[in-house]
Structure 1
Amino acid sequence: MDKEKTSFFKKSLLALSAGVLLFSFTSCQNKPKEMDKSEQKVRLITLDPGHFHAALLQKSMYEEIDSVVHVYAPDGSELENHMKLVDSYNTRSESPTSWKHEIYKGPDYLEKMFSEKAGNVVIISGNNKSKSSYISRSIDSGLNVLADKPLAIDQEGFKSLEKAFAVSKDKKVLLYDIMTERFNIYYILQRALSQDTAFFGQLEKGTPDNPAVMQESVHHFYKNVSGKPLVRPAWFFDVEQEGRGLVDITTHMVDLIQWTSFPDVTLDYKTDVKMISAKEWPTSLSLEQFQRSTQKDVFPDYLTKYVKNGTLNVMSNGEMNYTLKNVHARVGIKWNYEAPEGTGDTHYAKMRGTKANILIKQGKEQNYKPVVYLEILKSASEKELQSAIARLQSKFPGVSVIKTGNLWELAIPDKYKVPHEEHFAEVVKNYLGYLKTGELPAWEIPNMLAKYYTTTQAAEKAKSK
């Protein structure tokens, strides 16, 4: 081979090699970075845990979640109570958890959290006055958020939430609230039967005096959680920090009305929700009751404006009447100090169809345990009821009905009756699935906005009176 051909061959070989290298480099650049196992884990950050729901999220372990949880909070009793509850899960005799904690406590806890970014999911469950800011800053920082209800307690908070959802879309992170009641078997069965049009017919439109959908609940300030008396923070009794009664527990009830009445339907709060009326009234607590609930000796200064003749008046009770897609709905909440012996929080729910009604009662007749009742109207028959139960059994084997006076009672096997505290693990598993796919169902964000628009509008209407 002469020199000219040799030179040409060398140049061609060099060019080919360079091309292969360039192609390999470009391919590596375009290929998504493979995450190592530690990066694939969900790493939790617990921010300022002032409510026991933050601890309940750690009552179970999850394969997808790193066992090390980073906690950022001001020093004080709220952090201590949170850690005691989580530690009780670590040290229990049956199925103990194995959480480890890296705790930073101090006045600059918030700035420290955002500077370190030790995790990728922030748990927010505490003082609701701070919640809007916590959520917004976490989303702005590119962190996913799983937050306890309510995500907003007033109209300003609602506007902040709306903006946070818009930013979360740009940042490609997920903001979600903890709706445990969707995993309650009684509401699951109510939802399923209300969608069986052969039995239930169509959802009635109702009227303000006779709504088509109702949710009522009675809760208690003093109660047991995980077998021990719950110590509430003093700010829980301040509506400016906790929120008025119409924006707290009502979040669950408004959510259930949306979830059962319009499954997987995208709601638009601007056109689908119309607040008709709302009212509120206080629960009165003695200093002794306050001390027992909070372990505080005196009412703090910020509560004195609610104190009259030595009695603390908490604006915790309320009722709202509204329409959702032209269906009349009513939500009522009542707070007592303590439940009678052997009882607890109670719920009542009703859905009225053109052929049947579905009720959930939890009063003295039911031994304070939830019971689902079916009421057949004149336009329906027992045969249609039995056919509906047969269809229900394909998904929930063992469910049956028993005639009780003019009503039919659903007999539900115990295996479906999961205690309330266990629903938190189901919420977490659901959220982990959304994190894996990188998105929420299309209807979830619009419906969260519709939910918080409803509650904050009710509070505003009641307060204006």
Structure 2
Amino acid sequence: MQKHIINRLSLASLALFATALFPACQSPSTPTDKTTDSTAVQIITLDPGHFHAALVQKTANADIDSVVHVYAPGGPELDAYLGLIKQYNERAENPTHWKEEVYTGADYLDKMIADKKGNVVVLAGNNQQKTTYIKKAVDAGLNVLGDKPMVITAANFGLLEEAFTTAASKKVLLYDIMTERSEITNLLQKELAHIPAVFGEQQKGTAANPGVVIESVHFFYKFVSGKALTRPSWFFDPAQQGEAIADVGTHLLDLVQWECFPDTILDYKKDIEINTARTWPTPVTLSQFTAVTKKDSFPDFLKAYVTKDTILQTHANGEVNYTLKGVHVRMIARWDYKAPEGSGDTHYSLLKGSLASLEIKQGAAENYQPTLYVLPVKNDEAYTQALQQAINTLQSRYAGIAVEKAGNGWKLVIPQSFKTGHEAHFGEVMQRYMQYLKAGKLPDWEVPGMLAKYYTATKALEIANRK
């Protein structure tokens, strides 16, 4: 065993938070040996192979113990995680004060279960074993906050179902990190979609002309917390990272459910029908692969995807056409190598209503910033008044928002204070999860919703790969 300690400043003030703060969390998941700050929420980070594991800790939270127990194999991925934590601790503005206690033995998973030095397991890394990690953690009576995706194959979907059943029986909370629900344009699109005078009724559409279209474009080469990201080689392996449909596609599937059918308890066996699904590659040269991974050759496990001209054909793109409670949806998840200068990951979303369409665009015309448009079917004075009344009503929650003319429709004007950014959204997800821990339960619709989106993703991928 090796231990790595990141020094921190004393947080004696956190002693004010007694473990009774979250009585609903005092379950088999609560450790008997208290860590330094004796707060109710004590994080265990398991095998942090993805930078999202660190982003959960980017924002300080007084309700979380500053001592974090990490169980992982040693290597560059663990070092990268600890490097980001060190960066957050040492920054000049609003530094964090994490103390990372790390176990790197080969039996790190069994050791984590045996030690039980926390009550919330954070999972963000190689997805090949993630569903197994989830199941073992909840079997041990531990709460789990897992990065997407929780499962990447149809073969393992049943194991995830079992994990949710076990979590319910042990009264622990299994929850995934859905950061896109914190993006302000998604929030406002959802709000407007449920104001009948603005949106009307959701159009079901057809397979050729769906009622909902949603697409994202991600990039292999990117910056995180101000530095160029180094990705592990396995990130390009569909067996370890997962294909686009089952990986980043889960964010899009989640948004469709959350925006179109909020607070609805979905039944994936009845409410979802996959019509068509397909995948296609993004070519990556060896020099591009080296720039992203810092490796000068393709590892053996990727050789099957490398063509004779040394181009890696990544399993990076996917499209699903399906119906959700009768509404036709087209979801597209894509990856390219590097974003245009001044831009980054992009998002597109179109909800078609009987009175107006709500469209989020993030292209060059929007300066690569997500922008929400309202496109009325009939843009007359009556509609203008209805839209303005809706905006006035929303002011109590979104102070300062407005609309301005844009072509034949309207553009939402959103104050900069609401544009917190992707990295900040992880702290917002953690805050929501903390509220659920305090309550001792998730909203009734959350678990059925998670099962619905992971069923859609894994079933669609199974269909796409039959060809």
Task: Give the structure-2-normalised TM-score.
Answer: 0.91
What residue number does 2:393 align with?
A: 391
Segment drifting more, 322-331 vs 391-400:
391-400
Give me the whole-angstrom Cα distance separating, in 2, the residues matched to 1:345 and 1:72: 31
Q: Is the Cα contact below 8 Å between 1:376 and 1:382 reproduced in 2?
A: no
Q: Tell me, what secondary structure is at the counterpart of 1:245? A: coil
- Partner amino acid, structure 2, of 1:152: V
Q: Is the Cα contact below 8 Å between 1:355 and 1:379 reproduced in 2?
A: no
What residue number does 2:442 align with?
A: 440
- Partner amino acid, structure 1, of 2:56: L
| Contiguous gaps of at least 5 residues in structure 2 | 1-25
Structure that is richer in helix per residue: 1
Give me the whole-angstrom Cα distance separating, in 2, the residues matched to 1:180 and 1:120: 22
What residue number does 1:172 align with?
A: 171
What residue number does 1:273 align with?
A: 272
1:402-438 residue CA offsets vs partner (Å, 9 max, x unmatched): 1111121111111111111001011001111111111
Give me the whole-angstrom Cα distance separating, in 2, the residues matched to 1:281 and 1:79: 31
Give me the whole-angstrom Cα distance separating, in 2, the residues matched to 1:318 and 1:137: 30
Q: Is the Cα contact below 8 Å between 2:391 and 2:402 reproduced in 1?
A: yes
Label 1:185 to 1:319 Cα distance change in 2 as closer, same or farther (>3 A): same
What residue number does 1:429 align with?
A: 431
Give me the whole-angstrom Cα distance separating, in 1, the residues matched to 2:325 and 2:175: 24
Task: Describe how 1:198-347 pairs up with structure 2 within 5 A.
Answer: 198-309=197-308, 310-347=310-347
What residue number does 2:374 align with?
A: 374
Percent identical across equivalent pairs?
52
Give me the whole-angstrom Cα distance separating, in 2, the residues matched to 1:172 and 1:387: 43
Q: CA deviation at 1:101?
A: 1.0
- Partner amino acid, structure 1, of 2:191: A
Give me the whole-angstrom Cα distance separating, in 2, the residues matched to 1:105 and 1:338: 34
1:140 aligns with 2:139: yes
Q: CA deviation at 1:106?
A: 2.2
| Contiguous gaps of at least 5 residues in structure 1 | 1-31
What residue number does 2:113 align with?
A: 114
Give me the whole-angstrom Cα distance separating, in 2, the residues matched to 1:403 and 1:222: 36
Q: CA deviation at 1:136?
A: 0.4
1:43-92 residue CA offsets vs partner (Å, 9 max, x unmatched): 11000000000000110111111100000100111101110011100011
Give me the whole-angstrom Cα distance separating, in 2, the residues matched to 1:111 and 1:392: 50
Give me the whole-angstrom Cα distance separating, in 2, the residues matched to 1:444 and 1:43: 23
1:106-143 residue CA offsets vs partner (Å, 9 max, x unmatched): 21111111111111110110000010110000000010
Q: Tell me, what secondary structure is at the counterpart of 2:280? A: strand
Give me the whole-angstrom Cα distance separating, in 1, the residues matched to 2:227 and 2:98: 20
Q: Is the Cα contact below 8 Å between 1:215 and 1:331 reproduced in 2?
A: yes
Give me the whole-angstrom Cα distance separating, in 1, the residues matched to 2:305 and 2:356: 45
1:18-47 residue CA offsets vs partner (Å, 9 max, x unmatched): xxxxxxxxxxxxxx9999996652111000
What residue number does 1:19 align with?
A: none
- Partner amino acid, structure 2, of 1:353: G
- Partner amino acid, structure 2, of 1:311: I
Q: Tell me, what secondary structure is at the counterpart of 2:365? A: helix
Give me the whole-angstrom Cα distance separating, in 2, the residues matched to 1:394 and 1:146: 31
What residue number does 2:355 align with?
A: 355
Q: CA deviation at 1:214?
A: 1.3
- Partner amino acid, structure 2, of 1:253: L
Q: CA deviation at 1:395?
A: 2.3
Q: Tell me, what secondary structure is at the counterpart of 2:128? A: helix
What residue number does 1:454 align with?
A: 456
- Partner amino acid, structure 1, of 2:132: S
Aligned residue pairs total 434
- Partner amino acid, structure 2, of 1:132: T
Q: Tell me, what secondary structure is at the counterpart of 2:245? A: helix
Give me the whole-angstrom Cα distance separating, in 2, the residues matched to 1:244 and 1:275: 17
What residue number does 2:13 align with?
A: none
What residue number does 1:185 align with?
A: 184
Give me the whole-angstrom Cα distance separating, in 1, the residues matched to 2:92 and 2:38: 32
Q: CA deviation at 1:394?
A: 3.0
Give me the whole-angstrom Cα distance separating, in 1, the residues matched to 2:226 and 2:388: 40
Q: CA deviation at 1:273?
A: 0.5
Give me the whole-angstrom Cα distance separating, in 2, the residues matched to 1:90 and 1:390: 41
Give me the whole-angstrom Cα distance separating, in 2, the residues matched to 1:68 and 1:201: 50
1:369-412 residue CA offsets vs partner (Å, 9 max, x unmatched): 11100011138722222222222223212111111111211111
Task: Give the structure-1-normalised TM-score.
Answer: 0.91
- Partner amino acid, structure 2, of 1:345: D
Q: Tell me, what secondary structure is at the counterpart of 1:445? A: helix
1:167-187 residue CA offsets vs partner (Å, 9 max, x unmatched): 001111110000001011000
Give me the whole-angstrom Cα distance separating, in 2, the residues matched to 1:171 and 1:430: 21
Q: Is the Cα contact below 8 Å between 1:372 and 1:410 reproduced in 2?
A: yes
Give me the whole-angstrom Cα distance separating, in 2, the residues matched to 1:409 and 1:81: 40
Give me the whole-angstrom Cα distance separating, in 1, the residues matched to 2:128 and 2:80: 20
Q: CA deviation at 1:352?
A: 0.5
1:2-29 residue CA offsets vs partner (Å, 9 max, x unmatched): xxxxxxxxxxxxxxxxxxxxxxxxxxxx
Give me the whole-angstrom Cα distance separating, in 2, the residues matched to 1:400 and 1:172: 43
What residue number does 1:403 align with?
A: 405
Give me the whole-angstrom Cα distance separating, in 2, the residues matched to 1:230 and 1:460: 31
Give me the whole-angstrom Cα distance separating, in 1, the residues matched to 2:271 and 2:423: 33
Give me the whole-angstrom Cα distance separating, in 1, the residues matched to 2:131 and 2:265: 24
Q: Tell me, what secondary structure is at the counterpart of 1:129? A: coil
What residue number does 2:7 align with?
A: none
